[in-house]
Amino acid sequence: MPTTAVLDSTMFHRELGTGRPIVFLHGNPTSSYLWRHIMPAVGSGRRLAPDLIGMGESGKPDVAYTFDDHARYLDAWFDALGLDEIVLVGHDWGGALAFDWAARHPGRVRGLAFMETIVKPMAWEEFPEGGRDLFRSIKTPGVGETMILEDNLFLTQMLPFTVASGLGDDDLKVYLEPYRTLESRRPLLQWPRSMPLGGEPADVVARVERYDAWLAASVDVPKLLLAFRPGPGAMMGPELLDWCAENVAELEIEQLGLAGHHAPEDQPEAIAAAVRGWADRHGLL
């Protein structure tokens, strides 16, 4: 699998096929492994899935792992590979990074598909009730460090819980492997602390507001929202689906089956078929 020099580090990616690029972006606490069943089943195009900086098999530079840090390294990866006329597919923070990259590089994006991701800044009352206390704790100095760095909660408990069909031991081992030390888990802590809730953190709220403006105005870019019958940890309920329908230009919404928050683990075949059909309809690949 290829490794690419980016800034002061390296980024690993999986790759299949040839033709126009379709880039799959994962979120927290996963890696490009999330797309292992989906990439082959999409069936056409040059399919690439990077490990975000500090995650999976990518390098672990001494940075804070803010949203801006991830965006800088991802920018460098896109540029190093010379990718243009791209279809983006994003899950969780990978969706947010896809929106952000597209908004800043509008001439390089052909289409964008997304699921279970951050589409708008939210008040705490809008966030799924089952996750509010958890995220308040993670955002609390000292408490979050114990939960994520010391106890490895995101990987050992939250990831398996948010796969409705269950996550096999061998698959969990792949996700656990890059995070054997406390220091290596810092990206896993910074991501939930970056969730734009109650107006904080202000820098992430501003970035989300900027990409929301692009999502509303980009009438020349087809978009696909994959929605699911909500399973454990699902974050995009009916209210957010309605918001997307009203505020995202050129949007199609496709309803699929039961899935937890980590939908690519639950519904890989359905996701691949939906992306493939949407791309075919619009001549994207």
149 Cβ contact partners less than 8 Å away, ≥ 6 residues apart: 182, 185, 186, 189
| Strand bridging mode 3-6 / 9-16 | antiparallel
Contact between residue 12 and residue 1 where contact means Cβ atoms under 8 Å apart:
yes
Residues in the chain: 285
How far, in Å, CA of 52 to CA of 145, rounded? 21
Burial grade of 16 (CB within 10 A; 0-12, 13-18, 19 or more)? middle
Sign of torsion, CA 52 120 149 134?
Answer: negative
Active site residues per annotation: 92, 116, 261
| Paired strand residues for 122 | 197
Q: What is the torsion angle, in degrees rounded to the nearest 10, for the CA atoms of residue 108, residue 114, residue 116 and residue 120? A: 50
- 250 phi/psi in degrees, rounded to 5: 55, 45
Q: 202-217 and 93-104 are packed helices; what angle lies between their axes, rounded to 10 degrees?
A: 60
How far, in Å, CA of 186 to CA of 64, rounded? 8
Distance of CA 265 to the CA centre of its chain: 13
How far, in Å, CA of 110 to CA of 130, rounded? 36
